[in-house]
A and B are shown apart, each in its own frame.
Chain A
Amino acid sequence: MFRRSFFGMASAGLLALGLTGPANAHDDHIVVQSTTSTQNSGLFDHILPIFTDKTGVEVRVVAVGTGQAIKNAANGDGDVLFVHAKAAEEAFVADGHGVSRSDVMYNDFVIVGPPADPADVAGMSDATAALSRIAAAEAPFASRGDDSGTHKAELRLWAEAGVDVAAASGGWYRETGSGMGATLNTGTGMGAYIMTDRATWISFGNKGDYQIAVEGDEKMFNQYGIILVNPETHPNVKADLGQQFVDWVLSDEGQEAIASYKVDGQQLFFPNAR
């Protein structure tokens, strides 16, 4: 009798909790694999409600590094890919995982640094020259080190500057292996220079006394692209709804929504769909 009530209670509790059931009422939803910069800057919170109100399609965003987002999408775990690493995106399409790639918007990377400016780079606009100076001074530099879009862009610039950062890893060159926000938290804590996209930096809440040291180099241009995951390769992809989202982002309305997003009066992303 007692035993029965013990296990009865346990199973009743389990039923009451409800093991399954969606947390949200929308039946129509798509999963977008995207990057931390678009999410952390608040862009998605600004533009997605506009799309959902218009179409009734809920957009679920998984925000990870570009490298991981591309791998997740290549596994078919997502309907749309919205990231910023053009070469990797074109390879994704060439491998048959994506239908086609379109430019969506851009912003730029900046290098932020401590007010003491140990490498004397503040005010420079030549990114590779600034990086050479940081390397020569062996001033601490915090890298994402996570195969993200920002990390790939940073490695390209180091290569152009002719600096072998792998050799300095663990010394003045420090790979956090984390997202942009975590790397900013770590880097500002250790007085290191950090390359970040401008959107994440403007909306970042823990800047301390850090300021932008290097900006304005066209090599630090940061292009975002959008790709519908290929339904022929991945049959579970919701091609109709995903295409609807891609079309909207590239439409005048979607582009205006992106342009209208501002933090502290500054526009974070500049639409350039063609």
Chain B
Amino acid sequence: MESFSAILAEALGLILSWDADVIEIIVLSLRVTLSAVAVACMIGFPLGAMVGAFRFPLRTGVIVVMNTMMGLPPVVVGLLVYLMLSAAGPLGVLGLLYSPTAMIIAQTILVTPIVAALTRQVIEDLYNEYSEQFTSLGVGPLDRVLALLWDARYSLLTVALAGFGRAVAEVGAVIIVGGNINHVTRVMTTTIALETSKGNLQLALALGMILLTIAVIVNGLLMAIRGTAARAAYV
């Protein structure tokens, strides 16, 4: 077994050599995951906010379902999307199987419940604080949701990051619907799985460290944006 420092050196070497294949894989990983998180936020933020801000029949049931779906196994999501997009499936005519779009769809399904469920909790806490003001000012339903979402925007950034963390780290869904095709649908996690199965454990771990580094950079960037925006708000 190689020493840990040798693995570190290999990871650094991979990045510094600016290997075109590695760069391509990193770029595709980010494209797929960030797209999926963006779509998941566009669905999950309003959905979570509505469940958080309004009272309706069976609301508790809806919350239980949303919270449960946070634990969707990636392999199951991958299978469902495969069965939908397969040439034998109902959406087969679209020809999306084994494409980056199929991977985005799978990750969106995986991440949307996480975004919606966490948003629901954030908005509900804020709503309890605001509800009397809303009532006394006679604020309409749409404006309530928008005001809550806006005021919760920094917490929602963390919600989006939770979704990003889930999507960027999963391999079960994308390897089924993407097929791990070289130069087409090969992303960081599927490459790590492939190199592990080839017995190239050192290379696999080095790639894993690159993946972690990317996650650190994305998180750092968002925290920086948050810090800048928060300071600007008080000027």
Chain A residues within 8 Å of B, Cβ to Cβ: 2-3, 6, 10-11, 13-14, 17-24, 31, 36, 40, 45, 60-63, 72, 75-77, 178-182, 184-185, 203-207, 234, 236
Contact = CB atoms under 8 A, between A and B. Distances in A.
Given A14-B38, A19-B35, A236 B183 contact: no
B209 interface: no
A203 B42 CA distance: 46
B38 A181 contact: no
Given A14-B38, A19-B35, A236-B92, A60 B184 contact: yes
Contacts of B115: none
A60 B98 contact: yes
A128 to B, nearest CB: 28
B98 A31 contact: yes
B87 A75 contact: yes
Contacts of B194: 40
Label chain A's interface by main secondary structure: mixed
Contacts of A20: 100-101
B181 A62 contact: yes
Nearest to A32: B181
Contacts of B199: 181, 184-185, 204-207
A76 B101 contact: no
Closest 9 interchain pairs by CB?
A181-B197, A206-B199, A76-B87, A205-B199, A62-B179, A75-B88, A204-B199, A14-B38, A205-B200
A61 B88 contact: no
Given A61-B182, A76-B86, A236-B95, A10 B198 contact: no
B59 interface: no
A17 B199 CA distance: 34
Interface in B195-209: 196-201
B73 to A, nearest CB: 16
A17 B35 contact: yes
B97 to A, nearest CB: 6
Contacts, number: 104
Contacts of B150: 2-3, 6
Interface of B: 24, 28, 31, 34-35, 38-39, 41-42, 86-89, 92-93, 95, 97-101, 104, 146, 149-150, 153, 179-185, 194, 196-201
User: Quick one: which of A20, A21, A203, A206 has the most chain B CB within 10 A?
Assistant: A206
8 contacts: A3-B149, A10-B42, A14-B38, A14-B39, A23-B185, A31-B179, A179-B197, A207-B199
Nearest to A31: B98
Nearest to A2: B150
Contacts of A21: 100
A76 B86 CA distance: 7
A24 B38 contact: no
B87 A6 contact: no
A61 B180 CA distance: 8
Contacts of B38: 10, 13-14, 17
B196 A60 contact: no
B196 A23 contact: no
Contacts of B88: 75-77
B66 to A, nearest CB: 21
Contacts of A23: 24, 28, 100, 183-185
Contacts of B87: 75-77, 234, 236
